[in-house]
Chain A
């Protein structure tokens, strides 16, 4: 689930293939050059690795239970990423497309909420900030 090298979507997608799978849906989350009106130069992702692995595996297992899929996988990259790099990849194969779309959407939504991974955006103005869920950067400590 966690990797510190570039994600290879082609190989990951091919590994989902099954003879009874007629549908494959994949999602890639890419590093974007702006957020909240600020120009982003690059990102760092930090993870609590043991829990991120376990929670990621639980999400994929839940998806396999809830939807009629043949296979499902998710990979998230950590470390320093450049604009355009794939930060996260989700892939699902299923007999039919409805289950594949639904399971893929479920996995990425749950990963964003539940897997202990954090994004630090480095901005063109020299500032940086960890993003926390309302999607605004949080300073290290507020003046007290």
Chain B
């Protein structure tokens, strides 16, 4: 049978972030998949070198809008390790609490997206409804729904009152009941089972070989979780189960994520029950002594890695960010092999990809023009019309005018 290559993306139905996939088909079956990334490349690592250690907390928190706390915790932990700082236990507990709340809202978000990708929008409505109370709790504790701004070098910037902790417990209790229903749904619902089972298969061997992380790896029987294997923050004192599954497909990835919600509730309860009194920060030097550290953090999508090297000044010499999606992308092409074209959206979505995380690194300007400017919306629109006229032979400006006239004549 003749092979046909179908381009999917950079803008495509699978998710709202850009990534370009090149899918080669034999009939409806995928025989090869390639990808082109980099569309969200923003210059974070280069930018970090010209900012102070403190300024970088706010920069690196914006690597991702969903696991922002994971990235900022990862970064400040690396800086604290280089500086030899030990943060107070209360600060460690607060960081752990926010991290688990972040995992909850991320997994609920994914559950909704997965439902949407397979046409089960009821699940989207349910799970995004349940995500809202968590966002409200995060806003109450940190002042923001995302990009929480809670971390600083040496601890956290805001304390939590006993009343706020009670509010968290109230929401956790409510959500746990609903989550039990989702667990039952994931394990027994025929629609979900038939649509997701055997789709996007990734064997245990391939998951290890391609370096998959997080729920993607754990759904292929890879028993790895940084929270248990290399305990950070308060995880060394907390009991929880690392969820693994042996389905090795999208169904398994769904089971792992919904079951992880239950474990996160357990972690949050333990954190609140053992929240120590005391200070929330220690004094950190403005200039960080020369040294290097690698920091690891189990973000909702899997392990994030930050590396920080200091040269003894107030600015880092090098900051490296490796987000979990970057680790999981290696295995996506393998997951697609022998699946149907119609399964592409859910297979991509099943790693819970985040391309803004993946493509953090360097500011890109149009150097062919010899300078760099920040464009206004009007300039940007004009530039895009000119670009399409020049490069693609399409006059969007004329088409727009024509369309406007036609509409006005009706």
- A is bound by B: no
